[in-house]
């Protein structure tokens, strides 16, 4: 027997009809993280989600460290240039 219509499907699954067509927004926002997770799990197929999360945390920490070094170098050069501008 073939069942047609979202109303009957929703009734069978005991969910609201609007839930059948739901599309979340997170996949587009987290696409880079999901891609990195897939790459890590392909590289380390025996590791579980906990170890993959540790690797992701290290990536974030490394990116923050690079950003800090970049910003501190720019700030230091701006501070050095500032005293020469004093009249």
Assessment of whether the complete model's pTM goes beyond 0.85: no
- What would you report as the CA-atom Rg of the chain, rounded to the nearest whole angstrom? 25
Determine whether 56 is exposed, middle or buried from the number of CB atoms within 10 Å of its CB (0-12, 13-18, 19+): middle
* Segment 42-59, tens digit of pLDDT: 999 999 999 999 999 998
Rounded Cα distance between 31 and 49, Å, is 17
Q: What is the pLDDT of residue 53?
A: 93
Terminal-to-terminal C-alpha distance of the chain: 89
Q: Cite the DSSP H helix spans in 3-83.
A: 6-13, 26-29, 31-43, 49-81
């Amino acid at each position: 027997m073939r069942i047609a219509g979202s109303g009957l499907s929703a009734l069978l699954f005991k969910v609201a009809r609007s839930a059948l067509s739901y599309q979340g927004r997170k996949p587009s926002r987290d696409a880079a993280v999901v891609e990195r997770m897939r790459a890590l799990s392909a590289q380390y197929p025996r590791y579980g989600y906990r170890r993959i999360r540790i690797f992701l945390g290290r990536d974030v920490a490394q990116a923050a460290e690079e950003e800090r070094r970049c910003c501190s170098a720019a700030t230091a050069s701006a501070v050095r240039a500032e005293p020469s501008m004093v009249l």
